[in-house]
Amino acid sequence: MKQQLDNLNRDKEVMERKLKGFQDRCQELKAQLENEQKTKTANVQDTQRVVDQNDTDMTTDSDSDTDTDDCEGATAKLRPLRVNIKKGKKRTEVYLQKTKKGNVLMDREFRDSDVVQYKYSPPTSKEVYEWSKEVGNVRKDTRSALGRLEALKDICSLSVRDGFSIVSVNLSSADRKGLKEALGETLSGERLTDDRAETEGWKKLKAWCRKAQQQKVDWNEITRCKQKTDERFFSLSVRYGLSIVSVNLSSADRKSLKEALVWLNGLIPEIRKGSLQRRLKDFDSTSVVIQYIDDVLICSEDKTEHERDVRQLLDFMYSKSHRANLEKAQLCQAEVIYLGQSISQGERRITPSCCEAVKTHPIPQTI
């Protein structure tokens, strides 16, 4: 009975400590929320003050020949926080009528008047980096990323150039170059004044993102190669894939190491898997590429496409300091053995050697 009471008291103390921790956390969140609300209120007031000041400066310039309605229509498309106000002098022509001996003469006189110029200012690099983290990678999660980018465009009145900067942060150099070529003349200038051209630029950006969406490979079906008659396979194994890890040249000079660090035990598969997997993300091809640790498989629909992609893959791996094991390579085969399985004609089956190894495996025994 005493032991049960002790257990109950102990549980009670634990629950009280958890409850106190929850209460403290609630107080912290409440204080944080109040501070954020105060900050947002102050920002809204500052923004409204800037807008009111801009409107006042625009309406006070009554002597100039500029149309006030046109200025308001042009600045309504810009973000209030993205407006740089520059005051300068404008030369205005004034015609004066004078009479001399019955003749009417028109003299031209110049007067100086203040002019308010509105110029679009792009977002800072810090804002672009923060927005890119909110949007995410458009190739991995295209639908959600484009939805967040569309909402951000409507809230902050972004231009196509701003959208290109935000999307390019999470793209590789090859994808960034392709997106820049797809947009073309849309990126020229600081900001497009034509709404139609701006809309066309956003359409091109979204179309490229949907086209560049990564295709999910179904290992069970060997996507894009099932039930084909002329498909080809290429399997290779990276030389010393489990025992060599590349190091930076700076580390090699500082620690007196060679360009490659050799692990004597050869038991580092995960390190090599991550290194090769990260580098293969930048490889762009029309074939299906599957990688497991140091084994790579390419599946193509026809022979010509297969030879082109294999050559590009070998050049790409050579540029990344990877070497292929020619003894294990299977080039342009209608049937290939990969990870102990035979793949051909959209089918996948276990090889006889693997079946024999499973059959002859000793039965586990309890010691």
d(CA 292, CA 217): 13
Which helix (H) or strand (E) element contains residue 349?
strand 347-350
- Comparing 181-195, 218-232, 331-345, the range with the smallest average pLDDT is 218-232
Q: pLDDT tens across 35-81, in order?
A: 887 877 776 666 556 555 545 544 444 344 444 333 333 333 333 33
Find how far residue 32's CA is from the centre of its chain.
30
pLDDT reading at 128 higher than 80: yes
pLDDT attached to residue 236:
56
pLDDT attached to residue 119:
55
Domain positions in the chain are 125-212, 219-273, 287-357
The structure's pTM equals 0.33
pLDDT attached to residue 145:
86
Torsion from C-alpha of 54, 59, 64, 66, nearest 10 degrees: 70
With cut-offs at 50, 70 and 90, classify the pLDDT of residue 192: very low
- Comparing 39-48, 167-176, 351-360, the range with the smallest average pLDDT is 39-48
Are the C-beta atoms of residues 94 and 108 closer than 8 Å to each other?
Answer: yes
pLDDT reading at 152 higher than 70: yes
pLDDT attached to residue 288:
73
- Angle, CA 112 vertex, CA 108 and CA 113 arms, to 5°: 125
With cut-offs at 50, 70 and 90, classify the pLDDT of residue 163: confident
pLDDT attached to residue 264:
38
pLDDT attached to residue 181:
85
pLDDT reading at 94 higher than 70: no
* Greatest mean pLDDT among 31-45, 90-104, 184-198, 280-294: 31-45
**What token pair was written down for 289?**
């590429």
Provide mean pLDDT across the span 186-206.
70
Provide mean pLDDT across the span 15-27.
81
pLDDT attached to residue 248:
45
Q: Within 10 A of 293 (CB to CB), how many other CB atoms are there?
A: 17
pLDDT attached to residue 70:
39
Single out the residue of 272, 262, 258 nearest to residue 317, CA to CA.
272
Handedness of CA 225, 226, 228, 234 (dihedral sign): positive
Compute the mean pLDDT over every residue in the chain, rounded to the nearest whole number. 66
pLDDT reading at 360 higher than 80: yes
